[in-house]
Structure 1
Amino acid sequence: MPKIVDHEAQRKIVADAAIRVIQEHGLEHATVRNIAKEAGLSVGSMRHYFATQAELFTFCMNLFAERVQKRVEALQMSGSVLQDMKNLLLQFLPLDEDRMMEMEVWFSFTAKLLVYPELKKLSDQMHQGMYLSVQWVIQELQKQGMTHPELDAENEIEKLYALVDGLAIHTLMQPDRLTAKRVEQVIEQHLSTLCPT
């Protein structure tokens, strides 16, 4: 009787192996041979799950997008609007081991956008998701009547988006200087400057 294989589960095993190879050795070592070895598969069987390297990278990027979405959806609202908005924004930042790994691999992928144009669409979707979350934060603060009446929402959305994106990069590049506690303080202070009370 032939062995029944869960195709989607095997794809996740291969993607996890690719992520480990990239994290430990860099994207340049994410060859079919190295990933197959890490996943415990033959090169031929790995190609059964992903026809191209770009397809594998796209699948990995989708996994990261799903992880962020699940973190956001799992957030419990505390009742404090500022605290809840801060907690939402922190989901996009590499403040623990898992998110740091995701960010390291994500930046490795974004470096390949010129080589694999099919990754650009997914990268744009991820950035759009973060942008929409930032937009929602500003709109929610306005809706709750917490912001300055003369607040330029469009400008503040761009500033907060740039702050979150910049903190993500700097936390990745200089984790000893920009600790999780410091990042939380920066986000909290920025949100409090938008809200006079």
Structure 2
Amino acid sequence: MPKVVDPEARRRAVAEAVFRVVRAQGLEQASLRNVAEEAGLAIGSVRHYFTDHDELLSFALDELIARVERRVFARVDEIRDATTSQQRRAGVEELLGELLPLDADRHDEAVVWLEFSQAARTRPTLRPAARRLYEGIRMIVGRVLERSGVPGEEEVERLAALLDGLAVNAVLQPDLMTPAKIRAVLRRHLDGLEAARR
């Protein structure tokens, strides 16, 4: 009897192989052949699930976005259930921390995010997902600030730029931009927003 394969599970497994190749060798090395080899599949099997290289990369970027969204939405529930201002503040820090490379998994995601974001500049097929990620971060930041009583598009851009900068620097200089430093900078920024609101 032939083995039954869940197509979506297989597509996600191939996306994971894309992430591993991108982390180790960069996006330019994430060819169908290299990804198939990393996934332990024949290249024909990869082509069975993805019509071409662009579809594979777009799917992988969508998977990355979905992974981050799941973690962020779980944190939203925690903030909603908080009963004290300290719990809410801690929840906000943890929620924003989901967008930052504070552990090995999130650091790997940031590496992949940076590779895809850079590639989207010259690859039109990646632009919609990259735009969705850009807008999604700003939507999350906007809601956090609005609920914290800090309105304003400039504040959204300021905090989003801080998150982006911390992530980029942590990818490029991980020995200098450590998780402890990232947390301290984020906390200081949130402290400043609270002080300005009073």
Question: TM exceeds 0.5?
Answer: yes
CA deviation vs aligned residue, 1:72-124 (integer Å, no higher than 9, x gap)? 12223353232222221111111111111111112212222244312101111
Counterparts of 2:173 and 2:122, CA distance in 1: 27
Q: What does residue 27 of structure 1 align with?
A: 27
Name the % identity: 39
Mean Cα deviation higher: 14-23 or 129-138:
14-23
SS in 2 for 1:195: helix
Aligned-residue RMSD, C-alpha: 1.7
Alpha-carbon offset, residue 135 of structure 1: 0.7
Task: Count residues in correspondence.
Answer: 189
Which residue identity does 2:7 align to in structure 1? H
Say which SS state the counterpart of residue 148 (structure 2) adopts: helix
Within 5 Å, which residues of 2 pair with 1:1-197? 1-75=1-75, 76-77=78-79, 78=82, 79=84, 80=86, 81-142=88-149, 153-196=152-195
What is the alpha-carbon distance in structure 2 between the residues aligned to residue 53 and residue 123 of structure 1?
A: 17
Larger Rg: 1
Secondary structure of the corresponding residue to residue 46 of structure 2: helix
Amino acid at match of 1:178: M
Counterpart of 1:162, as a letter, is: A
In structure 2, give the amino acid aligned to 1:123. A
Q: Which amino acid aligns with 2:37?
A: K
Deviations 1:147-173 (A, max 9, x none): 6xxxx6222222111111111111111
Q: 1:188 Cα shift?
A: 1.0
2: CA distance, partners of 1:113 / 1:193: 34
- Which stretch has the larger CA shift, 112-121 or 171-180? 112-121
Matched to 1:176, the amino acid is D
CA–CA separation in structure 1 for the residues paired with 2:44 and 2:140: 41
Separation in 2, partners of 1:29, 1:157:
35
Return the TM-score normalized by structure 2.
0.88
SS of equivalent residue, structure 1 residue 112: helix
Bigger share in helix:
2
Higher relative contact order (CA 8 A, sep 6+): 1
Gaps of 5+ in 2: none
| Cα deviation 1:38-64 (Å, max 9, x = unaligned) | 212111121001111111111111111
Distance 1:178 1:68 in 2: 21
